[in-house]
């Protein structure tokens, strides 16, 4: 009998951003411009007033745009990242609370997300110097849109002296909020107005020849292997420190203008020794399309859940689409838990056999049947 889908909790609706006036400064940072906005917060380009260092500043809104769980996860993200030092993992600088808003300042990465970087529709990057400078990074989970918004002219007063800072300040602020736990990524309930039909199974067929030719172009495959190897390097480093990302997906992987990859958005990171349970058992958090079966069922996860997500990413990069295309979350959940993905060769007959085998092994439903570590994946790609 198939497992029951995890419980569903509706997320609160965020207030219209048109009514929000950006602050002039947040903690020790002055605000320069908006990078992106999402359901639970905004990301700004900011500059440290004393050092002059430019950073990306993630700002969570007050209730109902933010709840205590989101604030505690922001604190945990800072605590997890502040001890990490790896070229393929984003660096964090500071965290705190400013006038009712929790914030996290991190390294500003100029570049493209992994999907855009490896898009088969992009021209060959070596012939287009500066292409990766074109747009800034969103740098925040839940924000999958680009924003070329100019610097804002309407500003509030500067921050008061000595704002509370650090993860403990964020937790103390979260304790003051009375909102119930919510999960912005939770599966919507049935009857929520979603479309009742999904694309027919005929979509599990080879892609058009022109697209396949671009997907399998030697220059693109070289970029793909290099980028995925860097993802594996960063992931292996994270896993060795007892962390599980739990939300690995193309929009959370950035490639800068020097072609260096960064793992981003550790808002759902899990510490193996963490006694603070921000996720109830039987409740799934993450992004369904890239979620491991055990994670979709709301079961405890380890590093092998990230390896499954890596398999989804690799499958998508090789085939031009993810393994499962269901639009309704209920059907997508069922596909992840019980359906076998289509063979890579059925979608891309000319796919690199090594990449196809790696993707299919990583997508095993049972964690023990997957490749054992990110190091092994990187070694296979480089071997």
- Enumerate the β-bridge partners of residue 59: 42, 103
For residue 64, with 0-12 CB atoms within 10 Å meaning exposed, 13-18 middle and 19 or more buried, which class applies?
middle
Give strand ranges (E) for the chain.
Answer: 25-26, 29-37, 41-48, 54-60, 92-98, 101-107, 111-113, 243-244, 253-256, 261-263, 270-271
Sign of CA dihedral 178, 181, 182, 188: negative
Helix 353-362 and helix 303-319, axial crossing angle in degrees, nearest 10: 140
Q: 91-106: per-residue pLDDT in tens?
A: 989 888 887 778 889 9
Question: Could you tell me where in the chain the CATH 3.30.200.20 domains are found?
Answer: 17-112+134-176
As to burial, measured by CB atoms within 10 angstroms (0-12 exposed, 13-18 middle, 19+ buried), residue 250 is buried
The residue count of the chain comes to 383
pLDDT at 63: 57
Measured CA to CA, the distance from residue 35 to residue 122 in angstroms comes to 23
Q: Give 243's strand partners.
A: 271
Entry pTM: 0.73
- Residue 299 burial class via C-beta count within 10 angstroms: exposed 0-12, middle 13-18, buried 19 and up: middle
- Neighbour order of strands in the sheet with 25-26: 25-26, 29-37, 41-48, 54-60, 101-107, 92-98
Positions of CATH 1.10.510.10 in the chain? 201-273+281-382
Q: Which residues are catalytic?
A: 247
pLDDT tens figures, 221-230: 999 999 999 9
Domain covering 201-273+281-382: architecture:
Orthogonal Bundle (1.10)
> Tell me, what's the pLDDT at 3?
56
Q: How many Cβ atoms are within 10 Å of 309's Cβ, its own excluded? A: 26
Residue of 260, 239, 259, 257 whose CA lies nearest to 248 = 239
pLDDT tens track of the chain, all 383 residues? 555 554 433 333 444 444 456 678 888 999 999 988 766 778 899 999 999 999 999 888 765 556 677 777 777 778 778 888 999 999 989 888 887 778 889 999 989 999 999 988 754 444 333 333 333 333 333 333 222 222 222 212 223 334 455 655 544 444 433 333 324 344 444 444 444 455 544 456 777 888 899 999 999 999 999 999 999 999 999 999 999 999 999 999 999 999 999 999 887 887 655 544 444 444 456 688 999 999 999 898 999 999 999 999 999 999 999 999 988 888 999 999 999 999 999 999 999 999 999 999 999 999 999 999 999 999 999 98
Contact 180, 67 (CB under 8 A): yes
User: What is the CATH superfamily name and number for domain 17-112+134-176?
Assistant: Phosphorylase Kinase; domain 1 (3.30.200.20)
- Cα(148)–Cα(134) distance, rounded to whole angstroms? 10
The tokens for 31 are 């605000």
For position 274, what pLDDT does the model report? 54
The string of pLDDT tens digits covering residues 292-311 is: 999 999 898 999 999 999 99
DSSP state of 92: E
pLDDT at 243: 92
Q: b or e along 346-358 (b: 16 or more beta carbons within 10 Å of the residue's beta carbon)?
A: ebbeebbeebbeb
Contacts for 119-122: CB closer than 8 Å, 24+ residues apart: 120/211, 120/214, 120/215, 120/217, 120/220, 120/320, 121/214
Give the number of other Cβ atoms within 10 Å of residue 162's Cβ.
7
């Amino acid at each position: 009998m198939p497992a029951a889908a995890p419980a569903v909790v509706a997320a609160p609706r965020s207030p219209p951003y048109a009514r929000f006036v950006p602050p002039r400064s947040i903690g020790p940072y002055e605000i320069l411009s908006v990078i992106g906005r999402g359901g639970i917060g905004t990301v700004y380009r900011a500059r440290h007033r004393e050092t002059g260092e430019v950073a990306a500043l993630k700002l969570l809104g007050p209730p109902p745009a933010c709840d205590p769980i989101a604030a505690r996860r922001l604190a945990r993200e800072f605590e997890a990242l502040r001890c990490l030092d790896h070229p393929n993992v984003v660096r964090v600088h500071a965290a705190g609370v400013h006038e009712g808003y929790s914030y996290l300042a991190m390294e500003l990465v100029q570049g493209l997300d992994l999907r855009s970087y490896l898009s088969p529709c992009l021209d060959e990057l070596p012939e287009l110097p500066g292409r990766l400078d074109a747009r800034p990074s969103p740098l925040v989970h839940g924000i999958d849109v680009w924003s070329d918004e100019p610097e804002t002219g309407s500003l509030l007063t500067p921050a008061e002296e000595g704002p509370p800072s650090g993860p403990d300040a964020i937790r103390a602020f979260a304790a003051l909020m009375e909102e119930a736990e919510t999960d912005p990524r939770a599966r919507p309930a049935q009857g929520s107005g979603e479309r009742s039909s999904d694309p027919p199974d005929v979509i599990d067929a080879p892609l058009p020849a022109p697209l396949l030719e671009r997907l399998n172009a030697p220059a693109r495959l070289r970029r793909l292997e290099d980028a995925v190897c860097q993802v594996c390097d960063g992931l292996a480093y994270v896993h060795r420190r007892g962390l599980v990302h739990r939300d690995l997906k193309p929009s959370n992987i950035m490639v800068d203008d020097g072609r260096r990859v960064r793992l981003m958005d550790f808002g759902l990171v899990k510490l193996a020794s963490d006694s603070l349970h921000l996720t109830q058992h039987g409740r799934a958090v993450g992004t369904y399309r890239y979620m491991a079966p055990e994670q979709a069922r709301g079961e405890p996860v380890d590093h092998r859940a990230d390896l499954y997500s890596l398999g989804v990413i690799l499958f998508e990069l090789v085939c031009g689409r993810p393994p499962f295309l269901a639009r309704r979350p209920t059907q997508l959940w069922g596909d992840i838990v019980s359906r076998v993905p289509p063979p890579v060769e059925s979608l891309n007959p000319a796919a690199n056999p090594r990449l196809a085998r790696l993707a299919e092994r990583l997508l095993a439903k049972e964690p023990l049947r997957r490749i054992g570590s990110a190091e092994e994946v990187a070694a296979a790609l480089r071997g």
